Amino acid sequence: MERVRAGSLAVAVLGAALAVLPAAPAGAAAPPVAKPETLWLDTSAGGTATAPVPAVRTARTWATGEYAVVVVRGTYSKWGADFWRHGTVCGHPDRSAQAPSSPSVRQAYAGSDAEWTFGVPYACPQFPVALPAREGLQVDAGAGFQHPALLTAVGSRPSPDHAYRYALAGSGHRLALRIQDSIPGDNYGLLQVFVRSAVAADCASTGWQAFRSFASATACRAALPAVRAAAAPGASILVDAFPRRTTRGSAVVLRARARATAGAVTSARLELWTRTTGSWHRLRTLRPDQTGSVSVRLVPAVTASYQWRVAGTRTTSPVRVLTVR
């Protein structure tokens, strides 16, 4: 549970408080590309602010001179389910965590991700900061827990898919991750953590600055392998119901589910797109239920192609054609 007090969600200014990371040696060969790891961060398992502990660690030790990109995806709650049940809400929480905790844990809405809190179980005047407010993912790469640097700017609102990329420099330790919370025991929701080697393309724009080790983008690109970045596992869309034929004037029901490695994806938006001739256009945007499922009832007049898409991502279903006779 998060205590409601001014500044509880403010991001600490890292600046001089951060340990200075070692600079990349001039002319050094690019480090080897590590095998990616996918981990699950239990948001209730990171200890307290005064006694932080890792909620999850990488199996691999990241040596000095090696650089990692950590992709964290998902939503969770910093308040137990009972806090949400009294009906007072500020912001726009999702109906459940993207990847729920164990079924034995009582769960309700989810109002936080790795970077933002966007919904709380309080009236807005009672909450000390405006929403959305910056959030509390912490990583220990060897110098203690601190909020990692984002590889790309996130703007002023949560990412549509609640996924964020962070840049880290190795220092001879395994990477440890946790969620900062004053009373974490009643938190619920799992965050997917994907750890891969940084590559030269990660130096683009201001990405080189996020590693805090390079004097320029050119130096960053020279130090990192010029290979394609490993892709983080994302959601998939299962089409549960799609009739191939119907008659003009008859109603049909289309059903689909969004799934991820840990189970149903509930806080993503599923879009139904259609095309008869020419360009695709969006027909509906739907919010999944707690099983990740959506359904839509249509009365099609002409034969058309249909495709489900996860909003804000490249995840799509196969294209299906519904023939109208």
* Distances in whole angstroms, Cα of residue 49 to Cα of each of 110, 174, 178: 21, 21, 11
> Residue 15 has what pLDDT?
36
236-265: average pLDDT: 85
Cβ neighbors of 133 (< 8 A, separation 6 or more) are: 9, 10, 116, 117
Please check whether residue 169 is in contact with residue 21, taking contact to mean a CB–CB distance below 8 angstroms: yes
- pLDDT of 316 over the 50 cut: yes
Q: Which residue has the higher pLDDT, 98 or 24?
A: 98
Q: Which of 123-127, 241-245, 308-312 has the lowest mean pLDDT?
A: 308-312
Structure tokens at 171: 């220092």
Note the pLDDT tens digit of each residue in 264-302: 666 567 899 999 988 999 999 998 887 778 999 999 999
- pLDDT of 29 over the 60 cut: no
Domains of the chain from N-terminus onward:
28-223 (no CATH), 236-324 (2.60.40.10)
* Distance between CA atoms of residues 323 and 300, nearest Å: 9
Structure tokens at 2: 């998060």
Residue at 238: amino acid letter: L
